[in-house]
Structure 1
Amino acid sequence: MKNTVKAGILGLCIGDALGVPVEFRSREQLRRSPVTKMRALGTHHQPAGTWSDDSSLALCLADSLCNGYDPENIALKFLQWYNAEIWTPHGRVFDIGIATRQAIHKISKGIAPQLCGGTSEYDNGNGSLMRILPLLFYIKNFKIEQRFDIIKEVSSITHAHIRSVLACFIYLEFLLEIMNGTGKNESYKKMQATVIHFLDYTPICSQNEMDQFERILKNNISSYPEDEIKSSGYVLHSLEASLWCFLNSESYSEAVLKAVNLGEDTDTTGAITGGIAGIYYGFGNIPQDWIAELVRKDDIAELCEKLENKYFPIV
């Protein structure tokens, strides 16, 4: 399990950084000029290797988990990031989602973390899914009921609607299978069976909400043609696109480039896909030149080592 944390978190950050310069570009534009390497400038006029709020908030979560699980502290880290005190690539915040900004404003007013996230159907952007990966290392040995409750708590800091919570839950259940060394397609089938069984016997959501995930849970998302895969900032689109990219690729680089070149919310699709692909293919499969260009790579690697020592102690 050595370097699992580094593979997942650096995998996420690099996928994010590849997508930052082309965020909001259409799929058609990227077909004409596809991303093949780290780029500078572009949408946010940032240097090459710059990551966005996706990585910042994931790094805040990882940082907090180094000292154990405390939702109040996680929320505080998000606030510190927003105030440009921690985990920005260049000392300022240049990208943040509306729902996340609103939630952080509530955090600043002293509202309890689990009450800060939006609860309406329109509050289902991908802002909790994009940052949830580090929680995997904390919940990996818990029973499924505990895993769900903790995931719900952490998602709800910014996104409290059950659809966002379920997306995070499905993602981490899939990652749990991947991390345990199960093959790609077998992991997908096991995740489907585990989640369906849990939802069937645990009354946490309506049938309508379960139906939203039919393409992922009842069918095989990888079998859909690309033109039926959307890559907007909607949480369900992000989850479907990331699973589709990972299941339809054979290496870390192929997976994240496929994700970024879907267009629209390129940094987030890249980040979510990059987390899965990093853990599955391993740290050694991430291109060294991309790691070399990543902003604050040494700080990120140091954080990963700290988190790994906490949750994968050498016996």
Structure 2
Amino acid sequence: MVKKGSIIQFLLKGMAVGESIAYLPVREQEKLLRGKSDHELKWGTQTSLALTTTASLSRGYQLADVMIHLQNWYKKRQYAPMGTIQDVDVVTKQALENYTKNRDILAAGIGTDDADSENILSRMLPVSLYLYHQVGVSFINDEPAMLMLHRIAGLTHNDEGALVSVGMLSLIVSQILDGHLISDAVENGLAFGFEYYSRHQVFVNELTAFYDLNLPDFSNIPADKIELNGKASPTLEAVIWSLLNSDSYTQAVEKSLIHGHSNSIVPTLVSAIAAIYYKDDLVLEFGQNLVSKRVITTVIGQAESSSRFNLLNKPTNLG
């Protein structure tokens, strides 16, 4: 049974709602956010990948199982029912094809610059919850936990820049889960991220991409100064900017749509993170209009039943 108001429910439904809103015409977006629309909401690839990852982690962490779940999504349309919008990005497709050919989990991911892509961010949000609930906010001090984070991302996107973006996002989310205000969560998460990645030579050069995000007045920059180019770090900038300049779930989504007319991933991520921060029942109301919502509620139920995403469950191992 799905627990009303659980963090994993807010995350996954928030993500599906955000992705669906991004696909709507502007007029329908505005009507929906004013509560004057019951438009059918069609979610897509980003939500499917997050569901896939959640379903695997609900069974405990096994890297091979995460890959099997990704393969089943790609080849069998698991967690991608009819009526949803599915579009496999080039990097993910190549990585999954690599695994099909070679059966080498650690060598499947793409390590070229193309893999420094925003397409990795959404499916890693459930991993952030898993690590927080299994290890705690200090998972940055747990090398097996950070290795797990990087390896799950690296199944497809194994570029250092993508891995640092995933780490920064996860550390910010962990601070939100720990009860901090958005502004403090961003400041703390970035500080921990810079400290961690500066200690690992392979990642040091990637930190320059996060200098603007780390500025004290970052929230005051004009939205059009954030140049989205498909890479992970600018998308993270747009997500954080939207959250910092909002006081409610609805406002956060509205801010994200400033970037979202040409980018569906920003609203997807903002809606998911704002949902777990504000815990606005509006997310659950919007969720009633999602197509194929039984797929989502089934995965949520599995996650909650597993206790691996439960706030009070913090064993020292990752199993």
Q: Tell me, in whole angstroms, the C-alpha distance in 2 between the residues paired with 1:162 and 1:237.
A: 15
Counterpart of 2:243 (choices 222, 246, 262) is 246
Q: Tell me, in whole angstroms, the C-alpha distance in 2 between the residues paired with 1:7 and 1:182.
A: 17
Q: Tell me, in whole angstroms, the C-alpha distance in 2 between the residues paired with 1:9 and 1:209.
A: 29
Counterpart of 1:267? 264
Aligned pair 1:118/2:110, yes or no? yes
Counterpart of 2:23? 20
Give the alignment's TM-score, normalised by structure 2: 0.85
Aligned pair 1:237/2:234, yes or no? yes
Counterpart of 1:35? 29
Counterpart of 1:295 (choices 288, 291, 297) is 291
Q: Tell me, in whole angstroms, the C-alpha distance in 1 between the residues paired with 2:264 and 2:274.
A: 15
Counterpart of 1:52? 44
The secondary structure found in structure 1 opposite 2:76 is coil
Q: CA RMSD in A?
A: 2.5
Counterpart of 2:211? 214
- Deviation of residue 169 (structure 1)? 0.6
Counterpart of 1:304 (choices 273, 280, 300) is 300
Counterpart of 1:139? 131
Counterpart of 2:96 (choices 90, 101, 104) is 104
Give the alignment's TM-score, normalised by structure 1: 0.86
Quick one: percent identity of the two aligned structures? Answer: 22
Contact 1:245-1:273 at 8 Å conserved across structures: yes
Contact 1:34-1:261 at 8 Å conserved across structures: no
Unaligned residue ranges in structure 1 (runs of 5+): 23-29, 40-46
Map 1:36-185 onto structure 2 (within 5 A).
36-37=30-31, 48-90=40-82, 94-140=86-132, 141=135, 143-144=139-140, 145-185=143-183
Contact 2:115-2:159 at 8 Å conserved across structures: yes
When you count helix as a share of all residues, which structure comes out higher?
A: 2
Unaligned residue ranges in structure 2 (runs of 5+): 34-38, 314-319
- Please say which of residues 196-205 and 76-85 is displaced more in the overlay: 196-205
Q: Tell me, in whole angstroms, the C-alpha distance in 1 between the residues paired with 2:86 and 2:293.
A: 19
Contact 2:43-2:85 at 8 Å conserved across structures: no
Q: Tell me, in whole angstroms, the C-alpha distance in 2 between the residues paired with 1:216 and 1:111.
A: 38
Counterpart of 1:223 (choices 220, 223, 231) is 220
Q: Tell me, in whole angstroms, the C-alpha distance in 1 between the residues paired with 2:51 and 2:32.
A: 20
Q: Deviations over 1:9-40 (max 9, x none)?
A: 11111111111246xxxxxxx6xx5832569x
- Deviation of residue 285 (structure 1)? 4.4
Q: How many residues align?
A: 297
Q: Deviations over 1:190-243 (max 9, x none)?
A: 11221122123343413x311111112344432211111234422122111111
Aligned pair 1:9/2:12, yes or no? yes
Q: Tell me, in whole angstroms, the C-alpha distance in 2 between the residues paired with 1:231 and 1:294.
A: 28
The secondary structure found in structure 2 opposite 1:76 is helix
Q: Tell me, in whole angstroms, the C-alpha distance in 2 between the residues paired with 1:237 and 1:291.
A: 28
Q: Tell me, in whole angstroms, the C-alpha distance in 2 between the residues paired with 1:266 and 1:292.
A: 24
